[in-house]
Amino acid sequence: MLLSRTRRRFVHGLKEFVYDKVGLQSVAELREKHRLEDSMGFRGQFDEHRRFQMALLKEQGLAPHHRLLEIGCGPLTAGIPIIAYLEPNAYTGIDVRSSVLDMAWKEIGKAGLSIKNPRLICSSSFGSSELGDQKFDFILSFSVLYHLDDELLASYFAAVQKRLEAASGVCLANVNTLHDGGTWLEFPFLRRTLEAYRRTAAAHGLEMKSLGEIGGLGFGLCGPERQNELLSFRVR
């Protein structure tokens, strides 16, 4: 009887320990997700951003053999499914924040995607020196252009023109044309007209086309971001 009681206490204690560990793991995972969300936007948006961007790229023709450059890749909100979808050595991500790229490398490891050999670059010049003469079939910059002042925007379009495959390459980016400016983290949040983007892009040899508001393209969140215009840019 004593042994039976001791065994029951042991089993009960073991169950409590396991439940506590599971609970702690869940809390740790939630905190990690909050860190990722805080570095790319606002909490509660991460999963829909990831789903929408991947769906958008496929709809625009992204295939596994394509090479993709993500400018403003952050913690790989879209990057993880993109890397998983593309062939090895096909994804390059650029961000100006080294701390966020540290998180991105961690996400690559957690997803088991090191075998795809993605490249992440910390650069304040859109990879101008690091990328050499590399060209890409797709360039993605989601929630990036409205954080660039006029000088950086011109540099961005110069980089896009240099990196896109002239015959078939396309750059996709969303912009804010309606909502008042402000700041987000250490970055400005700017409102510009479509004509301002068109003019700056044209000055760097790019043709711009509006694909419509992202809400109408399937973006599922309810905030003002739904009214962002999605633009495509191609080399003339």
What is the pLDDT confidence band of residue 187, given thresholds at 50, 70 and 90?
A: confident
Q: How far is CA 231 from its chain centroid?
A: 16
> What is the reported pLDDT for 186?
73
**Listed range (60-64, 108-112, 220-224) with the worst mean pLDDT:** 220-224
Question: Residue 175 pLDDT > 90, yes or no?
Answer: yes
Strands 68-71 and 91-95: what pairing?
A: parallel
* CB-CB contact of 149 with 214 (8 Å): no
| Band of pLDDT at residue 3, cut at 50, 70 and 90 | very low
Instruction: State how far the Cα of 95 lies from the Cα of 150, in Å rounded to an integer.
Output: 18
The answer to whether 172 and 230 have CB atoms below 8 angstroms apart is: yes
Residue 236's pLDDT is 93
- Model confidence at 63, pLDDT cuts 50, 70, 90, reads very high
Q: pLDDT above 90 covers what percent of the chain?
A: 76
pLDDT, tens digit, for every residue of 34-50?
A: 566 565 565 678 899 99
Q: Give the per-residue pLDDT at 45.
A: 87
pLDDT number for residue 52 = 98
Give how far Cα 173 sits from Cα of 38, 133, 229, Å: 21, 22, 8
Kindly state the helix (H) or strand (E) to which residue 211 belongs, with its residue range: strand 206-213
Instruction: Report residue 226's pLDDT band, with 50, 70 and 90 as the boundaries.
Output: very high
Tell which residue, 94, 97, 151, 162, has the closest CA to residue 126.
Answer: 94
Percent of the chain as helix, strand, coil, to the nearest 5: 45, 20, 35
Q: Is the pLDDT of residue 7 over 70?
A: no
Report pLDDT for 40: 55
* pLDDT bucket at 180, cuts 50 / 70 / 90: confident
Lowest mean pLDDT among 41-55, 63-77, 143-157, 201-215: 41-55
Angle of helix 2-40 versus helix 98-110 axis, rounded to 10: 130
Phi-psi group of 223: left, alpha or beta (phi > 0 → left; psi -120 to 50 → alpha; rest → beta): beta
Bridge partners, 106 (sequence order): none
Contact predicate 219/226, CB 8 Å? yes
Closest CA to 85 of 104, 66, 69: 66
Q: Which of 111, 51, 41 minimizes the C-alpha distance to 72?
A: 41
| pLDDT at residue 42 in the model | 57
User: Confidence class of residue 8 from pLDDT cuts 50, 70 and 90?
Assistant: low
Q: Which residues contact 170 (CB under 8 A, 6 or more apart)?
A: 60, 61, 137, 138, 139, 164, 232, 233, 234
- Rounded to the nearest integer, the mean pLDDT of the chain is 89
